Amino acid sequence: MRTYLNLACWGALLGLAITTALPAMSANARRLADTVIPTTFESGHFYAVPELANGKKMRLLLDTGGGTLPTLWVNQAQADSLGLKADHTCEGDGRIYQVASPIFAVNQRLPELSAFCRGVIILPNENASSPSGQIVPMYFAGGVWTFDYSKRQVVLRRHGWHPPKDAHKTLLGLKRLPSGINGGWPRIIIRVDGEELNMLLDTGAASKPTAQALKEDSRSTTDGMGVGSYIDESTMARWRRKHPEWKVVDNGDALIPGFSRIIRVPHVEVVGWDVGPVWFIERPDSAFHTMMASLMDEPPEGSVGANVFEHFRMTIDYKKKAAWFECASECSASSVPAPQKIRLKGGVDHIAH
């Protein structure tokens, strides 16, 4: 989730994300072989960099947690640099979007997963978030995606993919949209200090670590930006009361004014694996209890980002509402297995089969 996205833009686009009807993947798409997405890997973030027929490359953050547009987008500045011009429009929730139809080089085409709003939306610069382009949550919906942090590769899986035997499975919470498909903002359950927490599964969660933070956690950054995980201020306060020994850096992150504290959690259990330590960045309660809660099936307490996912090969099946995590580095099997139930509204649990 790109938490520095203009909140007015979030509000304006909120209705579209919930009401837009997106068809499921076509039969042709399901029959395709695995598609390796052309990407570059920068300080924990995947960027799609498909090449156009004119030799220029797009740059799109692959972000499972941020943005409410119905398909991938670029801002006007990137569109101009790529030579892209809008050639059609698409409409949703009363909004009309300018859309370009890129011509890709051979074997560089991004998969078309929906008949709705084909192509790439061009956003005015002032309406776009900080990245020059983005692959948004609703683009992933309906597919089976592997984020392989060890090989630095993202793959759209063919129909009938089977998980490796050593992968740990967990169910995901996904909001059912009026169109009948699952929305694109996955809820995953993690455990911290024995407590289960609803979290947004967020490959795009960003950080802007300060010099003080980098002394504590010397991870790489690109133009000052890196990856992170977020926790709401209420949970942060509870952790601090219960565990005064957990390290806190008051001036640890410079992304959002007023929310710069980071806290070092010794162990995090995710999908039956134990990783840690993990640094979480404080975020306002409203970012998750209000804004993200409106997009998800249950309100989350924060986001899990690539400072956790970097330990795994992670495959997300949006149709089956499930994810599989294979340990790639610095993780061990937890004494508590991955959740095989996912809490739903009304107190009813969905049980894995």
The contacts of residue 237 (CB under 8 Å, 6+ apart) are none
pLDDT at 10: 38
Cα distances from 240 to residues 46, 172, 191, 252, 284, in angstroms, run 32, 28, 16, 16, 16
Which range is most confident: 8-22, 58-72, 328-342?
Answer: 58-72
- The predicted structure's pLDDT at residue 113: 74
Q: Select from 269, 267, 301, 273 the least CA-distant residue to 187.
A: 301
**Comparing C-alpha atoms, which of 191, 163, 139, 153 is closest to residue 325?**
163
pLDDT digits (tens, 9 = 90+) for 251-270: 999 999 999 999 999 999 99
pLDDT of residue 338: 64
Tell me the CA end-to-end span of the chain in Å, nearest whole number: 30
pLDDT given at position 22:
40
Mean pLDDT of 328-340: 82
Tell me how crowded residue 83 is: count the other CB atoms within 10 A of its CB. 13
Q: What is the pLDDT of residue 13?
A: 38
Average pLDDT over residues 37-43: 96
346 pLDDT higher than 60:
no
Position with higher pLDDT, 181 vs 176: 176
User: Is a pLDDT exceeding 50 seen at residue 117?
Assistant: yes
**The pLDDT value given to residue 1:** 56
Average pLDDT, the chain: 87
The pLDDT of residue 59: 96
Q: Residue 274 above 80 pLDDT? A: yes
CATH number of 168-351: 2.40.70.10
For the cut 90, the answer to whether the pLDDT of residue 114 exceeds it is no
> Rounded mean pLDDT of 96-101?
94
Query: In the CATH hierarchy, which top-level class contains the domain 7-156?
Result: mainly beta
Instruction: Write down the pLDDT at residue 229.
Output: 98
pLDDT of residue 30: 45
Instruction: State residue 233's pLDDT score.
Output: 97
Lowest mean pLDDT among 34-38, 77-81, 182-186, 340-344: 340-344
Say whether pLDDT at 142 is over 90: no
Tokens standing for 231? 């926790």
**Matching CATH topology for 7-156 and 168-351?**
yes
The domains of the chain are located at: 7-156, 168-351
Q: In the structure, what pLDDT confidence band is assigned to residue 65 with cuts at 50, 70 and 90?
A: very high
Task: Dump the DSSP string for 296-312.
Answer: SSS--SEEE-HHHHTTE
289-305 residue pLDDT tens = 999 999 999 999 999 99
Q: Give the rounded percent of residues in the chain with a pLDDT score beyond 90.
A: 71
- pLDDT tens digits, 198-215: 999 999 999 999 999 999
Residue 71: band (very low, low, confident or very high) from pLDDT cuts 50, 70, 90: confident
Q: How many CA atoms lie less than 13 Å away from 239 in the CB half-sphere?
A: 27
